[in-house]
Amino acid sequence: MGASLTKMAQRSMNYFRSFSLDHYRASDVRGLFNYSLSCCVNALLQSFSATTELLDILNKWHPSDEITGNNIPMQLKNALQAMMDSSNPYPHRYFLDCLDSHSISRYTQQDADEIFLIILNLSQKQMPDQDLAKEIRSLYEVRMETRVKCLECTYIQQVPSYSFSLPLAIHEGGNNLESCIQSFFQRQNLLHYCDRCGQKQLSTHELRLVSLPRILCVHLKRFRNDDGFTRKLHSRVTFPVTLNMGNCAAAGQSENVAPGSLQADEHYNLYAVIVHIGTAMFGHYTAYIRPTHEPTWYYADDSTVQPATWADVQDTYEGRKRAYLLLYRKMSRNASG
């Protein structure tokens, strides 16, 4: 049975390969063939392609002959470069093969945030040039610290942490992005083991912001596990095209923040939205992309790309298409909205 399905999938792939995908292109955004459930990676590649800062870093690296085909940063660089070449009908095929060698199967439904984090972690870990590895990390890295204070003896534990995305819980009903961020940094009371007291004590627990990256990825946590069953939250979540992170995270700012590293006017501009359509167990990923220096949005659904509007992007607040990952770029101090 498995062999028959494999042969059927191969015949189907060969059939589609007989068509050129070159005409599936709009401006700087080009369509990507769906190789058996590769829609998740396709949508992420669209966001990486719109992140010109990432390709600028990768282009500084010239891999030696010793680098194998299973190297994620090399194949990511090749895929992003090939996406700009209209003569290449399958720009991401080898990147998908590379991911498959790292147990990210193209024949399995994937979670976009999980794959996003895996790609970035492997990109900086497998980059032999350590200076460039640090650049990849700092491009996306949100630095925080976990602060736990024992309410019995006032002992404070502080643990540094970082993440390539900001995972925000959403609630049933209506949400807005700013309030979700504020809730993420909100102080909570819980039982925690105190090293000084030698037992669990009622403590305050909070995440504090240390620094923000140039590219901020926001993960709207739409999938929830209830008694072993994963379901999708279709809750409405509104988000702005320009986000003031200075105001949103002000309450969670750490005392360990270097002077001037976080400003009250940390403005970010939205340039990519990864969309999930369907249910938790059976879904499809697409992407809205706004290329650098372009006012126009584009909607990429695998090999099909078409112009879109901000109103189309706002439709992902609710409805059939739901925003799942939001990519924001830090604006320069002298940039206008």
CATH number at residue 64: 3.90.70.10
Token couple for 159? 């643990």
Range with top average pLDDT, 143-147, 159-163, 297-301, 317-321: 297-301
DSSP SS3 for 64 = coil
Any domain includes 7:
no
- The Cα 215–Cα 231 span in angstroms is 29
Any domain includes 81:
yes
Any domain includes 67:
yes
> Which pLDDT score, from 0 to 100, does residue 249 have?
60
Diameter of the chain by CA atoms?
71
> Mind listing the pLDDT tens digit for each residue in 40-53?
999 999 999 999 99
CA–chain centroid gap for 87, Å, is: 28
Any domain includes 45:
yes
Any domain includes 302:
yes
Any domain includes 6:
no
Number of structural domains the chain divides into: 1
To the nearest whole number, what is the mean pLDDT of the chain? Answer: 86
User: Is the predicted pLDDT of residue 15 greater than 50, yes or no?
Assistant: no
pTM of the shown model:
0.87
Q: Which domain holds residue 289?
A: 27-330
Rounding to the nearest 10 degrees, give the CA dihedral for residues 58, 126, 216, 324.
110
- The Cα 256–Cα 74 span in angstroms is 36
> Which pLDDT score, from 0 to 100, does residue 250 have?
57
Any domain includes 20:
no
Any domain includes 317:
yes
End-to-end CA distance of the chain: 57
